[in-house]
Amino acid sequence: MWHEVKNFATWITDPTFVASVLMAVACAITAITIAMPLLKGDRLASRMKAVAADRDELRRRSRATLQTSTVSLRRQTKGPWKDIMDRLNLQKLLEDPNVVQSLTEAGWRGPGPLAVFYVARFATPVVFFLMALAYLFVTGSKLSGNMQLLVAVGACAVGFYLPNIIVANQAGKRRKSIMKAFPDSLDLLLICVESGMSIETAFQRVGAEIGSSSIELAEELGITTAELAYLQDRRVAYENLAKRTNHPGVKAVATALIQAERYGTPLGSALRVMAKENRELRMTEAEKKAAALPAKLTVPMIVFFLPVLFIVILTPAYIRWQALNGAGGN
């Protein structure tokens, strides 16, 4: 048996056999390459028909999904926070025209976060006021009654503005996360568009790929894809993307996409220019932070580095001076 295995291995590794196999494979590949264009034929009509059928099916599914989502959103409006807001009429009492936009920029959409915000804005000042008074009475503060009341009122003011501060902070973090990956997403979007994808498919594909870098940007691209499928005017979908992010770079890209849709200009050229501008904008922000770094390091250097440096330099001299004084005294 070992003799047969050895003969088979020798036959397989024979240079003549290997060369014959390689020549046969090369001839087969050449024949297939020549025959493929002849067998392919003209399938443009069938492909366009398939694309139209897929578009109609997607439109039907999108409308069904939109109706289902609308019903579900209406059912979700009911809840304890919504009941409290309606009973106390907080939306009219604490009316803020920018609260919906602020919550949207922070990634909190729908009536649920709005109700929570209004309840928190109503309850937080009361809670902070009572907590400040309880702390002052329990600790036995030596402040006068007017000063204690002033401290409690200050805590109440902090509680009133605290929900707005939290929303603004969340919106800023979300915006930074989006803009960190936005130039790369524009490059991917340019590649997808130039490869022949539609803008909806390109947004969906880029959203799936960019999710590992920025979940917030992937979410925004997914919402834009849905709006492009649902809304009759595609311009509104791009404007909503700019409003949700509230960043000059995204607004410029949305404007370029609107102009490309309106005037029929090449979308790839617009995306290429926008990608370059956003990369330059990101580089400019990085240079700005680097330029501000020395000024920010001044106080930490004075507080932490200089005392340590003085100790390291002066301690040996002080020890030597003590030793000389001790020797002179003896």
d(CA 109, CA 116): 11
Contact (Cβ atoms closer than 8 angstroms) between residue 258 and residue 237: no
Query: In degrees, to the nearest 5, what angle opens at C-alpha 255 toward C-alphas 253 and 260?
Result: 95
Whether residue 187 sits in one domain with residue 167: no
199 within some domain: yes
Query: Quick one: pLDDT at residue 86?
Result: 67
Contact (Cβ atoms closer than 8 angstroms) between residue 133 and residue 145: no
Looking at residue 13, the DSSP 8-state letter turns out to be T
Whether residue 164 sits in one domain with residue 126: yes
184 within some domain: yes
261 within some domain: yes
35 within some domain: no
Whether residue 149 sits in one domain with residue 209: no
321 within some domain: no
Mark which of 140, 172, 204 sits at the end of a domain: 172
Mark which of 126, 155, 172 sits at the end of a domain: 172
246 within some domain: yes
Whether residue 186 sits in one domain with residue 118: no
Whether residue 211 sits in one domain with residue 138: no
Query: Quick one: pLDDT at residue 169?
Result: 92
Query: Quick one: pLDDT at residue 78?
Result: 61
At 43 the three-state DSSP class reads coil
Whether residue 185 sits in one domain with residue 168: no
pLDDT digits (tens, 9 = 90+) for 278-330: 788 878 888 888 888 888 888 888 888 888 888 888 888 888 888 887 766 55
Cα atoms in the 13 Å half-sphere on the side-chain side of 167: 22
The structure's pTM equals 0.61
Structural tokens at position 101 = 């936009």
Whether residue 206 sits in one domain with residue 136: no
Whether residue 241 sits in one domain with residue 158: no
197 within some domain: yes
Total domain count for the chain?
2
Whether residue 205 sits in one domain with residue 165: no
Other C-beta atoms closer than 10 Å to the C-beta of 200 total 18
Query: What is the Cα gyration radius of the chain?
Result: 34
d(CA 324, CA 329): 9
Whether residue 160 sits in one domain with residue 90: yes
Q: Range of 228's domain?
A: 177-281
Query: Quick one: pLDDT at residue 218?
Result: 85
Mark which of 106, 138, 172 sits at the end of a domain: 172
Residue 149: phi and psi, rounded to 5, are -65, -35
Q: Which residue positions in the chain have pLDDT lower than 70? A: 1-13, 17-18, 36-79, 81-84, 86, 88-89, 91-93, 140-143, 327-330
Other C-beta atoms closer than 10 Å to the C-beta of 301 total 11
Whether residue 197 sits in one domain with residue 135: no
Whether residue 157 sits in one domain with residue 220: no
Question: What is the residue whose two structure tokens read 């493929």?
Answer: 36
Contact (Cβ atoms closer than 8 angstroms) between residue 163 and residue 114: no
294 within some domain: no
Structural tokens at position 49 = 């028909």
